[in-house]
Homo-oligomer: A and B are copies of this chain.
């Protein structure tokens, strides 16, 4: 029908993830010289308008000039003209503006609706607060999906075939990074052949680094998403995450050193794993904080595949530090 084809036209023009793609064209716009009494009877005549809480005021060519809330309309004299009561400083979105920015404007300024204008400043539609809520839920899903290396179309309702097709890409990339990490281990096969116990403790260093990096990553990605982290404070945040990583590394490293000593009866094994954990949690703090900031700097989604990227760092540096220190101190381990 007509409504559907209108929506399709709009989406084809603007794309689903822009203000133009999410706006409705069922809004009320009246000319500046309209009287309040006339405006009220126009509302009566359009029960379908998506939000009758704001009236938009336009000139003869449709350019957005101001906004009148229904509250102002109720409180005005019936013979006043709209331009006399309208608020002419009206926040607006461009039709090609990204959906996330539109949701952010509506949230920040606590709006019920935001007018959308085309390239010529002509009022083209409105985005209502419930569309912003939907967009926010979508953006959240996107952020979590991208951290995990998931296609944003994936969901519990997708068929298995579609999910496999959508997940294979990142899993193959992850396989590549895993081969890289195993190449580091391969480099130390001679050491492992002499001290097999190193193979036993290897996963602990990598696993703790991966977990620490995921914590730093999650805090930094949320900080970017909710606007708490600006580039100006990036250095301070990276430095803080390094401090946190090293501190957590010292505490958990000492605990693990005691466990390793009790298990293997060799204090040097405890020392090797403790040092490697501290180094790897240093790497975890640095990579977990710096990678999303660098992605953002290059205007790439900071969450994009970041989980896979940071664990590549912590796997490689974890094995390198643990097996490297083990090789240096091998005379005390055999």
Contact = CB atoms under 8 A, between A and B. Distances in A.
A12 interface: no
Contacts of A79: none
A248 interface: yes
Contacts of A244: 160, 163-164, 167
A179 B204 contact: yes
Contacts of A311: 207, 210-211
Contact of A53 (B70, B150, B226): B70
Contact of A181 (B44, B207, B220): B207
Interface string A135-165: 0110011011101111000111101100110
A163 B53 contact: no
Contacts of A229: 156
A53 B74 CA distance: 11
Given A193-B196, A222-B144, A75 B44 contact: yes
Most chain B CB neighbours (cut-off 10 Å) among A71, A199, A212: A199
Interface size class of A (residues with CB under 8 A): 35 or more
A133 interface: yes
A31 interface: no
Given A167-B248, A204-B175, A226-B141, A43 B75 contact: yes
A181 to B, nearest CB: 5
A34 interface: no
A223 interface: yes
A8 to B, nearest CB: 23
Interface in A15-40: 40
28 contacts: A43-B74, A70-B70, A107-B130, A144-B144, A144-B221, A147-B218, A148-B215, A156-B228, A156-B237, A159-B240, A163-B240, A164-B244, A164-B247, A167-B248, A168-B251, A170-B211, A170-B215, A171-B252, A175-B208, A182-B200, A185-B203, A186-B200, A189-B197, A192-B192, A202-B202, A207-B311, A210-B311, A211-B308
Q: What are the 8 tightest A-B residue pairs by CB atom distance, in nearest-first order?
A: A156-B223, A110-B130, A199-B199, A148-B218, A160-B243, A178-B204, A178-B207, A186-B200
